[in-house]
Chains A and B, each alone.
Chain A
């Protein structure tokens, strides 16, 4: 049981590391956000579950499950708010961008016309 927990912790740490690697290597704010958030969410879930399995103590489980639920709920919301703010203050995309469908949407520019 300790061995399974250690393997799960190692997998979660590798996912955390890949998220940070994508944060460094991606060319753009939006790409960095997309690479960082999803890999980090999965990595944190695996890491916390692995630590709870490794510990073999019953008292840790409640708090760890609460923490995992909290990370699942809040991490996409924070990322979405940041992406919306980055688009609204017109941070430029990379040159390899093929299509920007949000630019044709008039909803995002409503308050500027007034």
Chain B
């Protein structure tokens, strides 16, 4: 029973990732796309930890940690670029 609920949670998180990707494709302005990319990053970090437990390989959590760091620096750099400060 617990495993079924856990798998359904993974599927719902994957659906959220797909919806944010849809907004990243159709977004009218460029800031829309970057906001959708930020949301996709958080959903991806959650999904990487989910798959680390699902596949039984705890070492994948380190990938999520590094990915969160790199994406934060990337978002800040893109925001500076939009303000013409870079």
Q: Give me the interface of A with B, judged by CB distance under 8 Å.
A: 2-3, 5-7, 9-10, 12-14, 16-17, 19-21, 23-24, 29, 32-33, 36-37, 40-41, 43-44, 47-48, 50-51, 54-55, 57, 59-60, 63-64, 66-67, 70-71, 74-75, 77-79, 81-82, 84-86, 88-89, 91
Across-interface contacts of A43 in B (CB, < 8 A): 42, 46
For B2, what are the chain A residues with a Cβ–Cβ distance below 8 Å?
A: 2-3, 5-6, 54
Q: Chain A residues with Cβ under 8 A from B19's Cβ?
A: 17, 20-21, 23-24
Residue of A nearest to B21 (CB): A20
Looking across the interface, which residue of chain B has its beta carbon closest to that of A92? Answer: B29
**Contact B9 A10, beta carbon cutoff 8 Å:** yes
Q: Number of B interface residues, CB 8 Å?
A: 47
Q: Which residues of the partner chain A approach B61 to less than 8 Å between Cβ atoms?
A: 60, 63-64, 67
CB distance from A60 to the nearest CB of B (A): 6
- Selected contact of A51 from candidates B36, B39, B53, B75, CB within 8 Å: B53
Q: Is the CB of A70 within 8 A of B6?
A: no
Check if A84 sits within 8 Å of B58, measured CB to CB. no
